[in-house]
Amino acid sequence: MSFLLSVVKPPRGNLSISLITVTICAAAFLGLYYTEKATSLSAVSVFKFAACSRKSALPRFPAEAAMEERKGVREMDDRFEFDAEGCSVIKGKWVFNSLIEPLYSDRTCPYLEKQVTCTKNGRPDSDYLRWEWEQDDCFLPKFSPKGVLKKLRGKRLMFIGDSIQRGQWMSFVCTVESVIADNEKSMVKYNRSSHFVFTAKEYNATIEYYWAPFLVESNTDRKIIADPTQRIVRVDSISRHADSWKSADILVFNSYVWWMSGLTINSLWGSFPNAEEGAQELERTSAYTIALKTWANWIDTSIDPNRTRVFFTTSSPTHMWSGDWNRKNGLNCYNETRPVAKVKRVWGGDKMMEVAANVVRKMRVPVTFINVTGLSELRVDAHTSVYGETRGKLLTAKQKADPLRNADCIHWCLPGVPDTWNRILYAYL
């Protein structure tokens, strides 16, 4: 598998290195070279010195060690600053921890949509809530609700993209809202519910979501068009959306799932009195390339990198066919209760993310990739499956009995995998 490095263009600044880290890296310098994938999603390999990780400086315990020892190591590691250069978030494994509890539940957070409230909707198992992403060479810092609110004081954090991005936004909001008094928080919807603004009044901070599944404009931005063949994407137009993004301090984008509805995309550019007559079918990656260049041009001409940080969440995998993880008697994600060790790469996701990497590489403004693809691919157990909703209604018993047609193996239960995505985002913040 080829993956993006988590940071394609790091923000400018001096890296502070502790004396301990320098000593360990000096020792590692003498004997450790290794080959790893290049940062651009290409298959090119480059030689690099072994990264001096935070985890390598800590004691290592055997797998059978007591949970308290493992917990102690994590707490000890929290004293260290997360090092985006030396820590690879994509190399690791899911570890079951029966002692952990999510920072929120689908019964306590009032901002979750029915589409993702799996436990509340009747999902009988709960082990999917207790898997932690453990990296090979370091530890992610724990998500601290109060810590993140302090970092966001006086700022606007905005998530922009499709319903997968909305899930990440809901996860973020639910994680922090429990530490805010009821009279110190609010949620407001704008633009026919395409723009949601959660406000933490004490911190003068907002955590926002903006619906733009293609990032650029389309005829399905306001009213969703279910038939992909009837959708038209204006690949060179973005200002109607971007006007709402201008004053944000942190922008987190994604755009992937809606591009995967077919091999071609009905695309429009320039001005036409009748959009349907002017639209042309473009090959998917060609349309995606033009759209991302439109997005990149807006970022480069409208964003001050000294004021605003820009992130891009990589593709969220789907699990539509159990053969991809060698479950020969299965259907899809339905009835999966554990992560798997390996999944075949599906949907042409690498090709689309190569497009994103190539566009970002040429940008003036630094963009940090939140690489969620590889770790999420293993979580075949964490989708909403038959415990979500379709067309605004929970599945009936009859629909649940037909998971081949009705299981949702695209969206994620909350709490769930997007909580880990936000741990990564929090680490970069």
pLDDT digit string (tens) for 193-227? Answer: 799 999 999 999 999 999 999 999 999 998 899 99
Tell me the mean pLDDT in the region 140-164: 96
- Tens digit of pLDDT for each residue in 57-100? 443 334 334 344 444 444 444 444 667 677 788 889 999 999 99
- Indicate the SS3 state at residue 307: coil
Q: 45-49 and 33-37: which strand pairing? A: antiparallel
The SS3 call for residue 209 is: strand
Of 66-80, 159-173, 185-199, 344-358, which one has max mean pLDDT?
159-173
Select the more confidently predicted residue: 137 or 337.
337
Query: 193 an active-site residue?
Result: no
pLDDT in tens, 241-266: 999 999 999 999 999 999 999 999 99
Q: Percent of the chain, pLDDT > 70?
A: 78
Active site residue 408: yes
| Nearest CA among 117, 163, 104 for reference residue 385 | 117
Classify residue 243 by burial, with Cβ atoms within 10 Å: 0-12, 13-18, 19+: exposed
Q: How high does pLDDT run on average in the chain?
A: 83
Q: Which residue has the higher pLDDT, 118 or 38?
A: 118
Q: What is the pLDDT of residues 274-290, one digit of tens each?
A: 656 788 999 999 999 99
Beta-sheet pairing, 156-161 with 367-370:
unpaired
CA distance 401 to 385: 12
**pLDDT higher than 50, residue 158:** yes
DSSP letters, 128-152, are: GGGEEEEESS--PPPP-HHHHHHHT
Q: How far apart are CA 62 and CA 343, in angstroms?
A: 27
Strand pairing category for 195-200 and 185-190: antiparallel
The 205-211 sheet, strands edge to edge: 185-190, 195-200, 205-211, 156-161, 250-253, 309-313, 367-370
CA 33, 36, 41 angle in degrees (round to 5)? 155
Residues 6 or more apart in contact with residue 246 via CB below 8 angstroms:
302
Q: Which of 221, 350, 408, 419 is catalytic?
A: 408
Distances from the Cα of 145 to the Cαs of 80, 101, 103, 109, 422, in angstroms? 18, 15, 9, 14, 11
Q: What residues contact residue 223 under an 8 Å CB cut-off, 6+ apart?
A: none
**Mean pLDDT in residue range 314-332:** 91
User: CA-to-CA distance for 207 and 149, rounded, in angstroms?
Assistant: 10
Strands (E), 111-254: 131-135, 156-161, 185-190, 195-200, 205-211, 217-218, 233-234, 250-253
Query: H/E element holding 408?
Result: strand 408-412
Encoding tokens for residue 364?
């003036």
The ranges assigned to domains in the chain are: 94-428
Residue 139 — pLDDT band, cuts 50, 70, 90?
Answer: confident
Name every residue whose Cβ is closer than 8 Å to that of residue 170 and which is 6 or more positions away in sequence.
109, 111, 112, 113, 116, 209, 414, 418
pTM equals 0.82
Determine whether 385 is an active site residue. Answer: no
Give first-to-last CA distance, the chain, whole Å: 27
Give CA–CA dist 294/245, Å, rounded: 15
Give the pLDDT mean for 137-154. Answer: 92
Q: Which residues of 346-376 are buried (b: 16+ CB within 10 A; e: fewer)?
A: bbebbebbbbbbebbeebebbbbbbbbbbbb
Handedness of CA 400, 404, 406, 407 (dihedral sign): positive
Catalytic residue among 2, 163, 244, 302: 163
Question: Would you state the pLDDT for residue 379?
Answer: 97
Query: In 10 A of CB 300, how many CB atoms?
Result: 13
Q: Give me the torsion for CA of 160, 161, 164, 169, rounded to 10°.
A: 10
Identify the active-site residue in 77, 376, 411, 419: 411
